[in-house]
Amino acid sequence: MIQVENIHKSFGENHVLKGVSTVFEKGKTNLIIGQSGSGKTVFIKCLLGLFEPDEGQICYNGQYYSKLSIKERRNLRQEMGMVFQGSALFDSMTVEGNVMFPLDMFTNQSQSEKQDRVDFVLKRVNLIDAHKRYPAEISGGMQKRVAIARAIVMNPKYLFCDEPNSGLDPKTAILIDNLIHEITQEYDITTVINTHDMNSVMEIGEKIIFLKNGLKEWEGTNNEIFKTENTAVTDFVYSSELFKKVRQMYIEERN
């Protein structure tokens, strides 16, 4: 579980986060949504410890990040997995090398133990014949799956994803969403996803927080988002005609 208590973050004159508080529960897929520039990326980078909040606290399973020593912070980082928007795979390494990298860096496992673990996670993300290929030789969807495999290879307690299905076709995007959702439940991970994709919101949003101008404007579930009367949320989520119709149908069905 991650507890966020009133965090503020500024860059010079630009006050990006203006006091955001929320709780991300274990075993749930938590989504952060909002327009570009609303502070989502800064928020997720604060959660990752890449940015230190100017004010406020972030608590990981009862441990306040600001009170941890450098060594404790380093250990905590090893409990986090991250899937970047562009996958951020190491170009010079094969798929297998990318997934094995955290094991090489942080464990003293034998080569065969590491190989078994890599084979297992690659199979889990449905990548079987790509071990020896380089990131440039595989599709965007496969790169995302490799990034997920790399993020979960160390059995993380926390999984962060920055727009995991951007640039993917709708079918692959749904596959990636479902994969993250399944892994979250299977391994009881606290997952936080930063997304613009409304399909993700509807499909896997067990908890959604909507950021606007650096403030939490709304929070709820994917079912509650249909019913909300918050105009900022409805303007954002139901900006397309398709989603307006979906919402209309949902309301009519309920009545």
Partner 1 sequence: MKYLEAIGKYFIMIWEVFKKPTKWRIMKTLILKEIDELIFGAMGIIIFISFFIGGVVTIQTALNLNNPLLPKSLIGFATRQSVILEFAPTFTSIIMAGKVGSYITSSIGTMRVTEQIDALEVMGINSLNYLVFPKIVATMMYPFAVAISMFVGILGGWVAAVFGGFAPSGDFIQGLQMDFDPYHVTYAFIKSIVFAFAIATVPSYHGFYMKGGALEVGKASTTSFVWTSVVIIILNYVLTQLLLG
Binding residues for partner 1 (CB under 8 A): 48, 50, 73-75, 77-78, 80, 82, 84-86, 88-91, 101-102, 104-106, 160
Asked if 209 and 22 count as a contact pair (C-beta separation under 8 A), the reply is: yes
Please identify, using beta-carbon distances, which residue of 195 and 218 lies nearer to partner 1.
195
Looking at the chain, list the stretches that DSSP marks H as alpha helix, in order from N- to C-terminal side: 40-48, 70-77, 95-106, 111-124, 140-152, 170-187, 198-204, 224-227, 231-237, 241-254
Asked if 231 and 212 count as a contact pair (C-beta separation under 8 A), the reply is: no
Asked if 26 and 1 count as a contact pair (C-beta separation under 8 A), the reply is: yes
Please identify, using beta-carbon distances, which residue of 49 and 56 lies nearer to partner 1.
49
Asked if 148 and 179 count as a contact pair (C-beta separation under 8 A), the reply is: yes
Smallest gap from residue 74 Cβ to partner 1 (A) = 5
Please identify, using beta-carbon distances, which residue of 90 and 248 lies nearer to partner 1.
90
Smallest gap from residue 10 Cβ to partner 1 (A) = 18
Two tokens, residue 80: 């986090």
Residue 173, amino acid: A
Please identify, using beta-carbon distances, which residue of 58 and 202 lies nearer to partner 1.
58
